[in-house]
Structure 1
Amino acid sequence: MDNDTSISHRILIAVRDPDLRRISVAGLRAAGFCVSAPTDGEAAVMLAESFSPDVLIVDSYLPSPDGRPLYERLRESSEQYLLCVTDDGHQVRTSVLHSGADDAISAPIHAGELAARCHALLRRPRQIHNRPDTVMSSTLTLGPLVIDLGRREVRVEEEEVQTTRIEFSLLEQLCRRPTEVCTREDLLDAVWGPKWVGDSHVVDVHLSNLRRKLDKAAPDTKVIHTVRGVGFRLANDVTDALEIPTAALAVLG
């Protein structure tokens, strides 16, 4: 089941290797974390602001939109705990720690160890400044689409959309990966759980119902796009409006 929406501690993990990302996300969710897993620097910077994670797990070689290492960009704009993943030796781990990371770990990673390191970081006392209040931190704003994770409410073009639990969870997963396609298997694992046995097209049925509701609320705004033979992603009407928040740009300077 998709249980991560009810958990307070949030993890943003941005790594290049798809197998590492899949294993890490599954392990972190099993450990009780709420996880967002963008695959590129632009989405990671945006979600670091809107998702308000407690821990940032970042591939040391993943670039940010301005070409610098992503972990350096996030360290400048965020006071959350930062754990860097590297596939090199002692020198690289030492370098990222000197650059402001709170911890570093070398690949390959055991999911249990990664979760344990996150728990260890969260036990450390840390003074967080300018942290958004709990209402703001539970809200994802993606162009005309607003999802309140705490209230489990959806609005498009300021119109409220009533969703079922599964519809909300599917839309949430798409919004957590706003710049990429989610396969049916990705969505099944996240919403129904890795032990789900059944027809994968159950995803299509629920997303079709959700689409009708979104279209009724905002006929001129397309929210979900089907990538034939692959899966689903947020439509251009949503992603074209995505920008790094003004406050974050001011900090990043």
Structure 2
Amino acid sequence: MDNDTILSHRILIAVQDPDLRRVSVAGLRAAGFCVSAPTDGDAAVMLAESFSPDILIVDSYLPSPDGRPLYERLRESSEQYLLCVTDDGHQMRTSVLHSGADDAVSSPIHADELAARCHALLRRPRQIQRRAEPVVSSTLVLGPLTIDLGRREVRVDDEEVQTTRIEFSLLEQLCRRPSEVCTREDLLDAVWGPKWVGDSHVVDVHLSNLRRKLDKAAPGTKVIHTVRGVGFRLANDVTDALDLPTASLAVFA
């Protein structure tokens, strides 16, 4: 294996349609990606671990070994970016997004668009690094909510909450602007980057998943509030502990 292949971003694509698989693999490789294309759910689950892909492209109808849709199984067991391909309309795309997919597209899809969406997904970590600001402290404390930026840990009412990379980044953005409402566009720009080409409601999906985790850890404390028609902000249970808007965040080195 040459150095270019070793350094290429890796994509695992698992789709049932052989023509779509052939065209997509050729297009992704032409775009510089290292591609593995299993033809069934068993092989996809195995390669998701051994191949260490950066992006998972999955047919929404392809089953996993346990009978569930493969994308649901992979979402539970991995943190890789997940893009679902479906031949249905907006209802199916909405469903897979609610199940944790980072993007969803309808088939047929052109290979160049698929490659462009993969590049857009991979821009996210670079955007996060690029927007980093000089910060003296590594911990944000807002009433019952504590976020350790260095360790990327979240605690509410002293209960630890396990978050995904995207969930943590979204919560961090809300905490850095505790007295403001963050629009979907604000959060997309900050977490996904200004050139994001997916559905803006992906923000709602990830925040909904995060809410469930926070509610489970601390049922009596509401952390995130939806401002209908505008966006999202920290809930009063968090901000009432602060002297907003003039007080700064409590931080520790």
TM-score (norm 2): 0.48
Larger Rg, first or second structure (1 or 2) = 2
Bigger RCO of structures 1 and 2 (CA < 8 A, at least 6 apart): 1
TM-score (norm 1): 0.48
